[in-house]
Structure 1
Amino acid sequence: MEIDDLNDDCLCIIFEYLPLPDQIAMARNSLRYEQLLSQIVWRKPQFREVSVANEMLSPLSKEDYMYFFELTSAHMEKLYIWKVHEKAFDSYLGRHLLRPELAFYLRLELTNLRELCVTDGYLNNSMIKTITKSCPHLRSLSVSSAYITGKFMVGLHNLKTLVARECSIEAEYLSELLGQLQLTTLDVTANKHNVEETILQAPAAGLMRLERLGISDAQDCGFRIAEQLPEVKELVVSYIGVKAEDLSDMLEATRKLVESSNAKFPKRLQTILCNVVDVEVALEQITGLETRSPRESPKFCELLKIIYKCK
């Protein structure tokens, strides 16, 4: 009996035991094999959540890599793309390497995609526009690029979660997003523009939907914005470049605001987290509550995060 004499069920069981390079070789060998792999085997959960850094993709040539994505993209539900430019193009030698450029992924047929994460400094507004067309059912988008201003994002009508750290989201586009989308999670940490006032002036309906918010450099340690977001369950306020000697003053200011307010939200203040080597010891030292035997002082990395959580 030859392998072509086996029924589809038997072939699929055999294909599942093969490593990905061999599966692709079989798919390229026969239209029947390609259909079985792309319609049955590559629809398994392990292929519906794909990262470009996944080890299973490492042995593939550039041609096989692109072939795999083109066949499986329509069934992907989650896609994570990391620093593609560094792997796709050598600017010094002016040549392409072993992986396609970022635009390749965004033009794929991603009609079933629900979550997309792109961490690449070359992502720009025109690529966001492409995403709105190729990912019509996207619910979660995470990006990080100084070229992202928020333009075209409102075209992602089903978006619930937007993580746009270290971007350049502009006030007019942020207002548009809060007013027209059903966002429940918004993270604009380290945004180029201060967006606190834009958020506070957004339509009440948009603020009522927000459950999680990440922001940088908010006034009064983020306490004021916390009071005006009635449904928020977690607010993370980050301050970059804070000197170690200023941490104690910021923490004390936050505590005084909590004590002097009768609003409901101050009761949600549960943690103040400093990004240091030893968080617990750092908090004890800067609040004067250290009770253990003296240890080496913690090393601050000049980043303070104040986290408000609802019990």
Structure 2
Amino acid sequence: MEELNDDCVCHILEFLPLTEQIKMARLAPRFQDLLQLMVWRKPRYRKVSVSDSMLEPLSKEDYLYFFELTSSAMEELYIWNVHKKAFDSYLGRHLMRPELSFYLRRDFTNLKELCIADDSMNNSMINTISKNCPQLRSLSVSSAYITGKYIVNLVHLETLVARECSVELDLLAELLERLSLKHLDLTANRHPVEETLLKGGGSQRLERLGLSDAEDYGFPLADRLPQLTTLVVSYTKISPQEQVNMLETTRQRANGSGGRFPKRIQSILCNVVDVEVALEQIAGLEKRHPRDAPKFNELLKIMYFLEKPLDGDKKLT
């Protein structure tokens, strides 16, 4: 191997599974450099999920080693439920994977998209991300401890998905004003955000929006946000009669829009927890008791869109 040129060595290394590549990297500085600078910068290593099958065979030591060498070249990173894999509080022992802080301390110079599904996330961790991910374009988090603080420091951010967070209204207004957000999802936010979105000048740039419990299926937002093409509204506490009322209001708004909404809004989606039961009640069908634990993100059961029939007139379907 020492007698082969770099191209030949890299070609050989690419055929090895990740566990063997790491063994080669530990064997000699030359192999480490070639893996780090050439092989591990291939597309398959620039987009990484901690649940990726290629990482499963790694020992914790090799896992840490791989991230330490490759983090600066990563462009997309998805981190799921780290606490369950890193530490067993009942038994009081560490498991096979590092804690969340390990990832946040890495140098993610080229990272464009970061998704962290871990309810232990907090504002301090967001501050660390803003320092270590200077090129971040998309951030997805879900934690009640996130209030929106420090997110404004992610100056290149275009997509913010912050479901089930506690984004405060004054911080939301600052985000909308200072960041060029195009996609914002605040579904199940602790504070009602609709009024802030309607007042904020930065909301005018939004192309996709997700939130909970908006009035009239979100048509006031569709009316006021000129760049909006997709709107998703989720409802967790809504009676069948309230659904009927909103359906009628939506029909009236759509029919009276003169075709303006249909041309701009590609879809208005409504999510309702345990919607099958609600629809059965609306339709007067046999009633069933709601399921004990409906899954909130199952939903996408109701979609409104306008289509052009043969006679040329718009109609709501």
Q: TM-score range by the shorter chain?
A: 0.7 to 0.9
- Per the alignment, do residues 24 and 86 of structure 1 end up closer, same or farther by CA in structure 2, a change over 3 Å counting? same
Q: Confirm whether residue 186 of structure 1 aligns to residue 190 of structure 2.
A: no
Aligned-residue offset at 1:265: 2.6
The corresponding residue for 1:136 is 134
Does the CA-based 8 Å contact 2:231-2:268 persist in structure 1?
A: no
Higher relative contact order (CA 8 A, sep 6+): 1
Aligned-residue offset at 1:274: 5.3
Amino acid at match of 1:229: L
Aligned pairs for 1:172-183 within 5 A: 172-183=170-181
The corresponding residue for 2:205 is 209
Amino acid at match of 1:21: T
Aligned pairs for 1:37-76 within 5 A: 37-76=35-74
Aligned equivalents of 1:162, 1:80: Cα separation in 2: 14
Q: 2:254 aligns with which of 258, 267, 272?
A: 258
Aligned equivalents of 2:66, 2:225: Cα separation in 1: 45
Aligned-residue offset at 1:285: 9.2
Aligned-residue offset at 1:201: 1.2
Structure 1 unaligned blocks of 5 or more: 289-293
Aligned-residue offset at 1:139: 0.4
Deviation digits for residues 184-230 of structure 1 (CA, Å, limit 9, x no counterpart): 11110111110111111112xx1221111111111222111211111
Give RMSD over aligned pairs: 2.9
Query: TM-score if structure 1 supplies the norm length?
Result: 0.87
SS at match of 2:121: coil
- Per the alignment, do residues 307 and 149 of structure 1 end up closer, same or farther by CA in structure 2, a change over 3 Å counting? farther
The count of residues paired between Structure 1 and Structure 2 equals 301
Aligned equivalents of 1:278, 1:217: Cα separation in 2: 14
Aligned pairs for 1:104-253 within 5 A: 104-203=102-201, 206-244=202-240, 246-253=242-249
Aligned-residue offset at 1:254: 1.6
Does the CA-based 8 Å contact 1:242-1:302 persist in structure 2?
A: no
Aligned equivalents of 1:284, 1:270: Cα separation in 2: 24
Aligned equivalents of 1:75, 1:251: Cα separation in 2: 49
Aligned equivalents of 1:284, 1:53: Cα separation in 2: 39
Does the CA-based 8 Å contact 1:227-1:263 persist in structure 2?
A: no
Amino acid at match of 2:165: C
Aligned equivalents of 1:296, 1:161: Cα separation in 2: 41
Aligned equivalents of 2:161, 2:304: Cα separation in 1: 18
SS at match of 1:4: coil
SS at match of 2:71: helix
Aligned equivalents of 1:82, 1:231: Cα separation in 2: 32
Deviation digits for residues 103-143 of structure 1 (CA, Å, limit 9, x no counterpart): 11111010000000011000100000000000000001111
Aligned-residue offset at 1:269: 7.3
SS at match of 1:237: strand
The corresponding residue for 2:313 is none
- Per the alignment, do residues 260 and 79 of structure 1 end up closer, same or farther by CA in structure 2, a change over 3 Å counting? same
Aligned equivalents of 2:209, 2:102: Cα separation in 1: 31
Does the CA-based 8 Å contact 1:234-1:309 persist in structure 2?
A: no
Aligned equivalents of 2:7, 2:267: Cα separation in 1: 55
Does the CA-based 8 Å contact 2:48-2:74 persist in structure 1?
A: yes
Does the CA-based 8 Å contact 1:234-1:308 persist in structure 2?
A: no
Aligned-residue offset at 1:157: 0.3
- Per the alignment, do residues 169 and 91 of structure 1 end up closer, same or farther by CA in structure 2, a change over 3 Å counting? same
Structure 2 unaligned blocks of 5 or more: 308-317
- Per the alignment, do residues 276 and 126 of structure 1 end up closer, same or farther by CA in structure 2, a change over 3 Å counting? closer
- Per the alignment, do residues 308 and 104 of structure 1 end up closer, same or farther by CA in structure 2, a change over 3 Å counting? farther
Aligned equivalents of 1:302, 1:256: Cα separation in 2: 31
Aligned equivalents of 1:148, 1:286: Cα separation in 2: 37
Query: TM-score if structure 2 supplies the norm length?
Result: 0.85
The corresponding residue for 2:30 is 32
Deviation digits for residues 223-247 of structure 1 (CA, Å, limit 9, x no counterpart): 1121111111111111113344543
- Per the alignment, do residues 283 and 255 of structure 1 end up closer, same or farther by CA in structure 2, a change over 3 Å counting? farther
